[in-house]
């Protein structure tokens, strides 16, 4: 089993790139990132039903998502790749912090942000993540943020604000606590991206093994927190058969599939590009709401959709429109 130093690449360390042409790898990475975004865009439908019809709390939903995902992936690994279940003591701290910050904390802070800021502002603030990803990648791996890439990030933030329905910048500053919580959700999502990229750069574990340990540690942390804050109610959910089906589908459908595609995309694309592609979630969510719920977007929201897509295209051009080393992923 590899040691932590092998699992966590140092700044500037080069790793062997996936086989195949650079263009093929790029297209595959973009496809995985878009599939992850599409999966995550559908989670709101299930979460809204669980909130509205069964009054589940953010802690309950977050904990049970992890409780469903970890054993399911663990059983699959035991059947197909039993070696992926082995974890050395030196690796454990990395995956503990990945699960705690990137999964457990992110889900909790995001839910609190929605409660304080409401969905529109919370959605805008969480997609501050590309800024934190760019800063983190610069500190960890020396990635440079070019002017065009910075411009793409700004355009995406503006687009997210318009799609979410935040037309007045003062709405983002209405509550100092809400602003801090919202930015914390963006930072924790950025941390998840950077942790995932570190694991992908190491190249020692497949996506299923990474998901298993991150969700296993996340489940442990969320269950302990849930028992401390909610007691036995955490395991006595007021759900009928339909409610349990909704919770299981949310966990084993968009949640599991989203993280699987997300981790795969990080094997082929820089963290900053994946983070920008994830900002397509608001317009995709809006389109899903239009098709399934009949909620029509207004002109500002369509403009925001165009800005988000434009920002993604600018980032793609700025990142891949120049020569790359054939052996460096980031």
Give me the tens of pLDDT residue by residue for the chain, a chain 330 residues long: 333 333 444 344 444 444 457 788 888 999 999 999 999 888 877 887 888 899 998 899 999 999 999 999 999 999 998 988 989 888 999 999 999 999 999 988 887 877 776 666 677 777 778 888 888 888 888 777 778 878 888 888 888 777 766 666 665 555 677 778 878 888 999 999 999 999 988 877 888 999 999 999 999 999 999 999 999 999 999 999 999 999 999 999 999 999 999 999 999 988 888 888 888 877 777 677 667 666 666 777 778 878 888 887 787 676 665 534 433 333
pLDDT at res. 128: 78
Contacts for 131 with CB less than 8 Å, ≥ 6 apart? 153, 157, 186, 190
pLDDT at res. 99: 96
pLDDT at res. 328: 37
C-beta separation of 271 from 293 below 8 A? no
C-beta separation of 322 from 144 below 8 A? no
Backbone torsions φ then ψ of 179, nearest 5 degrees = -60, -45
pLDDT at res. 49: 85
pLDDT at res. 146: 78
How many helices (H) and strands (E) are present in the chain, helices listed first?
A: 15, 0
């Amino acid at each position: 089993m590899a040691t932590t130093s092998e699992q966590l690449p140092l700044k500037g360390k080069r790793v062997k790139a996936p086989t195949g042409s650079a263009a093929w790898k790029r297209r595959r990475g973009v496809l995985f990132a878009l599939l992850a975004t599409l999966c995550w865009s559908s989670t709101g439908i299930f979460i809204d039903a669980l909130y509205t019809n069964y009054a589940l709390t953010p802690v309950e939903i977050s904990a049970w998502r992890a409780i469903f995902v970890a054993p399911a992936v663990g059983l699959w690994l035991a059947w197909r790749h039993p070696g992926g279940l082995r974890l050395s003591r030196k690796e454990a701290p990395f995956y503990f912090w990945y699960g705690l910050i990137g999964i457990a904390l992110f889900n909790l802070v995001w839910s609190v942000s929605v409660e304080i800021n409401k969905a529109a502002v919370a959605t805008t603030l969480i997609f501050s993540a590309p800024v934190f990803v760019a800063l983190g990648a610069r500190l960890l791996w020396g990635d440079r943020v070019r002017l065009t890439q910075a411009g793409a990030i700004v355009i995406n933030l503006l687009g997210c604000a318009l799609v979410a329905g935040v037309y007045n910048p003062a709405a983002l500053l209405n509550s100092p606590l809400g602003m801090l919580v919202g930015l914390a959700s963006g930072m924790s999502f950025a941390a998840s991206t950077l942790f995932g990229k570190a694991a992908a750069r190491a190249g020692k574990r497949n996506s299923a093994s990474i998901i298993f340990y991150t969700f296993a540690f996340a489940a442990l942390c969320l269950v302990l927190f849930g028992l401390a804050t909610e007691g036995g109610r955490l395991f006595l959910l007021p759900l009928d058969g339909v409610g349990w089906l909704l919770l299981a589908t949310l966990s084993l459908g968009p949640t599991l599939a989203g993280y699987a595609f997300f981790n795969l995309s990080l094997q082929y694309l820089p963290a900053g590009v994946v983070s920008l592609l994830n900002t397509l979630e608001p317009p995709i969510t809006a389109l899903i709401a239009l098709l399934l719920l009949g909620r029509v977007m207004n002109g500002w929201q369509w403009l925001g959709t165009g800005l988000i897509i434009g920002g993604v295209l600018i980032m793609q051009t700025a990142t891949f429109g120049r020569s790359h080393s054939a052996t460096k992923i980031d």
